[in-house]
Structure 1
Amino acid sequence: MSQSSTFDAEFDVVVVGSGVAALFGAAAAASRGLTTFLVEKTDRFGGTSAYSGGAVWLPGNPVLARDGLEDSVASGRTYFRAVVGDRTDHDLQDAFLNTGPMVVDFLQDELGIPTRFQAFPDYFDAPGRQEVGRSIYPKPIRGEEVGARTADIRSSVPSDQFGAPEDSTKLEGGRAWVARLVLALDAMETAELRLTTAAEELIRDDDGRVVGVAVRDGSGVRRVGARRGVLVAAGGFERSSELRSLWQRMPTADWSASHPDTGSGDAVRMFEKVGARLDLLDQSWWCPATLFPNGHAAFTLGFRSGIIVDGTGRRFGNELLPYDQMGRRMHARMDDGAGEEFWFVFDDTEAGGFPAICVPAPDPGQLREAGLWHTAGSIAELADAIGIDPDALGESVARFNGFAEQGRDSDFGRGEDPYGRFFLGASTPEECLRPLGGKRLHAVRLVLGDLGTKGGAVIDPNGSVVGADGAPIPGLYAAGNSSASVSGEAYPGPGVPLGSGMTMAFRAVADMAGQPLPVNPVPVSP
C-alpha cells in the first residue's frame, strides 16, 4: 500500500463517485468551505442514481409536513425497526433516521433544490407504516436550465442501455437530483468535479490513516491528498460477473439495472486492501426484470394481469409484491433448483400489449424474434414454446383462475396489501385478480434483476469505515451502495437507498469538518 506525504494535488475532502450520495456529500463539504475534489470514472455524472425514480425516504421531514402528510421520525423509527430489526446497529439506524430532516433542510435552505412529496407506499405491513409512503422527490428541471452540463448527466435507461433517442428537454427523478446537485456544486468555488477520472487506490500514511487517493485520468496516475478525509460513494459491484458469482450466486451481471461501466466493484476492492470490515455482500436491491435481445434486463413492476411462473411452470409468489420481495422469491427459486428462467404469462386483455410497467416498453416483434416473447392459442402450445411442463402450467393457470372467480388468492394473497393495489388503482383485492383466457396467451421472459448491490464497507454512525478490529479507519468514509446498507437485508420503502446514502454522506462530512452530529439530537424546549 502506498504510504507517502507527497501529492500531485491536495484538497480537504476527496469524494469518489458521482451518484446522489457522492454529489450530496460533496455539496455538504464544499458548502462548509472545505475544498472538495470529486472524481467519476465514466464520462457522465449520476451512476445508478440517474436511473432511479428519484424517491428519497426520510421520515418526518419538513417537505412531508408542508405537503400535508402527517409523519414523524418516531413513527418512521417504529416502522424501520420492525422491518430491519437487529440486522444493523441500532445507533446507525437512529443516526440515519434522526438526521433525515436536517438533510432536507440543507437541500432546501442551503442548496435551494425544490422538492415535493409523491405517494408511493411503504413496502411492509408493519407498525408505523405509511400506506401512501413518506418519500420526497426533486422537482423536474428543464434541459435549458441545465445548459451545457446536460451532456455530462447520465442518460435515461432507454437511451443509455437500449438505444432509444436521448431526450433531455426535461430531466426527472434521479436525473433531476444529479443535475441539480451538479449545478449547485458548479456554483461553489470550493468544489472541483472531474469526469473520466478513476480512483484506483486509497493512500495511507505510516499510522494507517487514509490521506488520499491514487486516481487515473487521460494523463496517467495522479496522487490526490485529502486533509480531512476520503468519502467513497462509488456504487456497488453489480456489474462485476466475478463478484456476483462469488458472493451472490448470480449467473451473470448483465441483468442489473446499472450501466455496464458503473458498479464494477472498485469500492469494495479498495476497502478490502485497507482491511475494512465488509457485510451484506450477498444482498442486492432485487427486482423482476424483462430480458431484452441485447442481453440487458429492464426493471419491471405493477403487473396488471397475468401470472409469473418459474422454470417448472409453477406460480411461486404474489406478483404484486414490492419488487425487492418478489426478487427475493425469484432468488430462492433459483437456489431451490427451479432454474434461472421465469415467464410472465398473460392474455390479450390489453390487445396483446404488455400489462406491466417496464421502461423501455418491450417491443413484441423484437422480443419474439429473440425468443423472449411467445404467443400461442393454447396453454399446451405456449408451454411447448417456452419449454416447460404443460400440465404444470395448465394447473397454475386453472388454480389462479379459480382464485379470480372466488375473489381471493388463497395461495399468495394478491391484492390484499395496499402496495399491490396502488399500481392498479384498485380498492379491493378482487380488482387485482383477473382470470386468464381468450384466444391467445403470451409468455415474456423475466429474469432476476436488481437496482444495485447493497453490500460493502461497514460504517459507524458518523459514516466512518470500520476496520476488521471494529475501530474506525481514520480518514475513510463510505455512503450509498459502497457501504453495507443501514437497512440490512430489507428494503423498507421507496427511496431508502438514496435517502440513507445522502444522510450518511452528510454525517460523514460533518465528522470530517470536526463537527460530528449526535446520533440522538437533544430536543429543543418549546
Structure 2
Amino acid sequence: MSVNEEVYDVVVVGSGGGGMIGGYLAASRGLRTLIIEKTDQVGGTTSYSGAGLWFPGSAPVARAGIDESDRQAAREYLRAVVGDDSRAELHDAYLSAGPRLIDELEKNPWFGEFTHMTVPDYFAGLPGATPHGRTVFPAPITVAELGDKADLVRKSIYTERYGHTEDETLVGGRAFIARALAAFLDTGHGDVRVNTALSRLIVEDGRVTGVEARCDGEVVALRAERGVLLAAGGFEHNPELRAKYGAIPSTGDWSDGVDSNVGDALLAGIAVGADTELMDEAWYVPGVVQPDGKPLFNHASRGGIWVNAEGKRFTNETAPYDQAGHAIRDGERDTDVSHTPTHWVFDHKQLSRDGFGGKSPQTPIADDWFTSGALKKADTLEELAALIDVPTAELTASVQTFNGYVESGVDEEFHRGETPWDQMCQFIVGYPALPEQNFVVPIEAEGPNPLIVSIDTPPYYAATLLLSDIGTKGGLKTDADSRVLGADGEPIAGLYATGNTMAAMSGKVYPGAGTPIGSALAFAYQAVADIAAGAGASGDLVESGRVNADTE
C-alpha cells in the first residue's frame, strides 16, 4: 500500500484542551504544527465542560485579591490530598506551569482575561485547603467573533445527547476551545485536520518520529521532526479496556466523556513500550439517569438521601462529585451490597422547592420520567420501597435517622453541610440542569443546618443514580516534562502525553475544580517546553527553560 507522507515539527493527536493548547504553544514558537482529530469537530470532552482550571497562584487568582505567589500552601495541599510522594515532581511541575501558562495566554487577545470564581477546594480540613478555591475560567466568546471557525467547535453535551439549541455565545469549554482554535490558526504555523484517526506511532532507531493515520480512507504518514504529543483523552468508551483494567463500571455507556474516546493514543503508546499507571481509576461522578436510560452528571444533591440495594444510606450526598462517585464505586466493588443503581429518595417538599430534571418547580415533571422508570413516585415510604425493591424497614429507618438530625443540624453519619463545598451547594439546585435553566432557590431551614431538611411530606420520589465519569484517569506514565516513560523508567524519545492519555498528576483523587483540564494544559506546556528547548524555537518557554520547582 502506498502511503502519503507529510512533514511537520510537531504532531498533536487530539483536539481537546491539552491538544489545542499544546498545538498553540508549539505553533506560536514558530514550529510547524499539525493537530489531528478523528471526529469532524474539535474540542473533545473539554467542550462538554465548564473549563475550570485549578491554577493556584495564577494571575486571575491574584486579581481576586488572593496572594498565593509562593504556591507553598497549594503544594502542601496537593501533597496531603494525593498522599503519594512518587508524584511530587509532577505536582511541582503542575504548580509552576499553570501560572506561567495563564500569563502567556493572557498576552494573546484571542484568550482575553481569565476570571477566578469561588469554588472551594474539595478536601476541606487538610493543610493548604481554601474556602475560596483556586479555579479560573475563560471568558465567553460570540459566534460572530469567531466567524466560520465556530462551526468546527464541538457542541455541548446537552446538544449532542438531548437536542438542546446552542445560543450565539459560547461559554465554558466551548469558549475555551474556540479561543484556542482561533489563536492556533492565527499563528500561521498551525493546521487542524479533522476526520483523521491515529493508527500507530512511527518509531525509527528507538525514537518516535511521527504517526500513521487514516484520513478519508487513505493512510498518511505524518512525520514529526521534534515530537509527538498524545492528547486524545482516555478510554472511557472502550468496554474491553475498562474490563481488562478493572475501571468500574466495565462499560462506557454511562460516561460523560465524548463517545470517540476509546483509548487509541493509549494503545499506540503501549504498543511502543510505554508504561501505564492508575488504569483502574476514573474521574468519577454520580449520574442521574435520564428517561433515555443514560446518566447525566450530578454535581451534588442538596436534598433527600441516597440509599443502596439494602435501603441504607452510605455517603454524604452533597460531597464533591468525585468523592460521592468513589463512594458508589467502592460500595459496589468492596461490599456484597449492590449500589447499581443507587436510589435518590426525596419528598414533595423538595420537589416543590427545587424542581427536577433541569426544570423549575413551576414546571410539571414530564411523563417520560415516570414511564421510563427513571423516576418513581409513591404515597408512602413503604410503597416507594416496594417500587425500588429495597427492604421497607431499612429505607424507613434510613429516612427516620436522617430526619433525626434536623434539630441538632449534625449529620452524625456522614457530616453533610460541614464543609465550604457543601455550604456552597445550599445555593445551587441539583443537577441535571441546562445552562440557561439554572436557578437559585433558598432552602427554608428547619434547623441550624440548611442542608438537613426532613423527608416527611408525601408523595415520595426515588430518582435513579448510576456511577458515571467524565473520563478515565489512568494512562501513559510520564515524567515532569510530559515525556512518556517506558517500562525501564526511561523516556521514549520524541513521545509526550497529556490530559487523560497521561496518568493523572493527582493520582487517585480530585483535589479541586479544574484539576483534569488544568492538568491537560499544564502538561501540554511542559511538553512544548521540552520540545522547544531542543528545537531552538523562540518564545517564553525557551527563555525560562524547562518548568519545574527549581525555576521558582
Q: Distance in 2 between matches of 1:258 and 1:242?
A: 16
1:450 to 2:469 alignment: yes
Q: Distance in 1 between matches of 2:271 and 2:303?
A: 49
1:338 to 2:340 alignment: no
Q: Tell me which moved more, 319-328 or 344-353.
A: 344-353
1:300 to 2:298 alignment: yes
Q: 1:415 to 1:148 in 2, by over 3 A?
A: same
Q: Tell me which moved more, 355-364 or 52-61.
A: 355-364
Q: Distance in 2 between matches of 1:112 and 1:251?
A: 40
Which residue does 2:23 correspond to in 1?
26
Which residue does 2:263 correspond to in 1?
265
Which residue does 1:505 correspond to in 2?
524
Q: Distance in 2 between matches of 1:292 and 1:433?
A: 26
Residue of 391, 394, 410 corresponding to 1:392: 394
Which residue does 2:43 correspond to in 1?
46
Q: Normalising by the residue count of structure 1, what TM-score does the alignment of the two structures yield?
A: 0.94
Q: Distance in 2 between matches of 1:362 and 1:246?
A: 44
CA positional deviation for 1:351 = 4.2
Which residue does 1:167 correspond to in 2?
166
1:369-448 equivalence runs, <5 A = 369-425=371-427, 430-448=449-467
User: Which deviations, in whole Å up to 9, do the C-alpha atoms of 1:454-494 show, x marking residues without a partner?
Assistant: 11001101110000110000000000000000000110000
User: Which deviations, in whole Å up to 9, do the C-alpha atoms of 1:404-427 show, x marking residues without a partner?
Assistant: 233110001000111111111489
Partners of 2:292 and 2:372 within 8 A in 1: no
Q: Distance in 1 between matches of 2:417 and 2:451?
A: 5
CA positional deviation for 1:364 = 4.2
CA positional deviation for 1:389 = 1.1
Q: 1:356 to 1:52 in 2, by over 3 A?
A: farther
Q: 1:347 to 1:359 in 2, by over 3 A?
A: closer
Partners of 2:300 and 2:319 within 8 A in 1: no
Which residue does 2:196 correspond to in 1?
197
Partner SS for 1:404: coil
Partners of 1:229 and 1:476 within 8 A in 2: yes
CA positional deviation for 1:159 = 1.0
Partner SS for 1:366: helix
Partners of 2:201 and 2:211 within 8 A in 1: yes
The answer for unaligned runs of 5 or more in structure 1 is: none
Point out 4+ residue stretches in structure 1 off by more than 3 angstroms. 350-364, 425-429
Residue of 485, 499, 514 corresponding to 1:466: 485
Number of equivalenced pairs: 517
Partners of 1:303 and 1:357 within 8 A in 2: no
Q: Distance in 2 between matches of 1:185 and 1:375?
A: 52
CA positional deviation for 1:147 = 1.9
1:223-372 equivalence runs, <5 A = 223-247=221-245, 248-260=247-259, 262-335=260-333, 336-339=335-338, 340-352=340-352, 364-372=366-374
Partner SS for 1:202: strand
Q: Distance in 2 between matches of 1:219 and 1:431?
A: 59
The answer for unaligned runs of 5 or more in structure 2 is: 428-442, 535-541
Q: Tell me which moved more, 352-361 or 508-517.
A: 352-361
Matching residue's letter, 1:517: R
Matching residue's letter, 1:62: A
CA positional deviation for 1:185 = 1.2
Q: Distance in 2 between matches of 1:228 and 1:358?
A: 48
Matching residue's letter, 2:202: I
Q: 1:9 to 1:188 in 2, by over 3 A?
A: same
CA positional deviation for 1:190 = 0.4
**Amino-acid identity (%):** 38
Partners of 1:88 and 1:488 within 8 A in 2: no
Matching residue's letter, 2:5: D
1:64-103 equivalence runs, <5 A = 64-72=61-69, 73-86=71-84, 88-103=86-101
Partners of 1:278 and 1:457 within 8 A in 2: yes
Residue of 5, 11, 14 corresponding to 1:14: 11
Partners of 1:404 and 1:434 within 8 A in 2: yes
Residue of 497, 506, 519 corresponding to 1:487: 506
Q: Distance in 1 between matches of 2:357 and 2:515?
A: 21
1:221 to 2:250 alignment: no
Q: 1:230 to 1:332 in 2, by over 3 A?
A: same
Q: Normalising by the residue count of structure 2, what TM-score does the alignment of the two structures yield?
A: 0.90
Which residue does 2:431 correspond to in 1?
none
CA positional deviation for 1:387 = 1.3
Partners of 1:299 and 1:449 within 8 A in 2: yes
Q: Distance in 2 between matches of 1:102 and 1:357?
A: 40
Which residue does 1:105 correspond to in 2?
103
Q: Distance in 1 between matches of 2:476 and 2:325?
A: 24
1:179-190 equivalence runs, <5 A = 179-190=178-189
Q: Distance in 1 between matches of 2:211 and 2:156?
A: 30
CA positional deviation for 1:358 = 6.0
Partners of 2:213 and 2:219 within 8 A in 1: yes
Residue of 515, 518, 526 corresponding to 1:496: 515
Matching residue's letter, 1:135: T
Partners of 1:271 and 1:457 within 8 A in 2: yes
Matching residue's letter, 1:192: D
Residue of 54, 57, 74 corresponding to 1:57: 54
Partners of 2:4 and 2:219 within 8 A in 1: no
CA positional deviation for 1:356 = 7.3
Q: 1:355 to 1:447 in 2, by over 3 A?
A: farther
Matching residue's letter, 1:142: T
Q: 1:350 to 1:314 in 2, by over 3 A?
A: closer
Partners of 1:210 and 1:475 within 8 A in 2: yes
